[in-house]
Amino acid sequence: MKVLLRAVLFFDALVDLLLGVLLLMSPFTTLYAALQLPQPQPALFGQLLGVALVGLSVLLWQAAFNGQLTVPVARTAGYVNLASAMLIIAWMVFLELPLEGAGKIWLPTMAVVLLFFAAVQIPAAKRVRVRERQLKMERALKEQETKEPGVAPAARQTNTPEYRREPVITPPPGYGPGTEVVTEPATEDTPSAHHARQNPHS
């Protein structure tokens, strides 16, 4: 679908470039007389419109090769082409635009071409946009699935203060109050009183 949209943008750029060059030649009455087209009056307005169409053709040319510009430019150009075709038809049917000979062929043909561009650009731009969003979501899901298993997501920071528990250190025996070590008295080598009372002659 995007390839078709780019092709339509390419041909739309060529058509707008030709129309822009034709309108830039608004002061040349002989050219419009040969083509049997109504000449813009005053010629300045036609030339200003020609400059705008040349600029639009450059933008369409860039959008045909730059994928980031394809969708927004195609959507805008589609509505511009639709409005232009409706104006041409309104002038031909209701406002009695003076046309002679080949002019009765050129303007209806131009209106049909613009309607064709609009009929392709508007829905195609919408479909491509929806497709690109779906692909973006699928890529995001694949990236989440390819993450290493067991890696927990980072915990969200909370506003509650964190209390730090100080480590409890137990002092060795003999240090600090209440931790005195009572040592047993050493046994003397002297004989006990019971031993002294014994009969030495026994």
Of 40-54, 92-106, 155-169, the range with the highest mean pLDDT is 40-54
Mean pLDDT of the chain: 80
pLDDT tens digit string along 3-29?
A: 888 999 999 999 999 999 999 999 998
Q: Would you place residue 121 in the very low, low, confident or very high pLDDT band (cuts 50, 70, 90)?
A: very high
Of 15-24, 93-102, 141-150, the range with the highest mean pLDDT is 15-24
58-78 as b/e, with b when 16 or more CB fall inside 10 Å?
A: ebbbebbeeeeebbebbbbbb
pLDDT tens digit string along 148-184?
A: 555 544 544 555 555 556 666 666 665 555 555 555 5
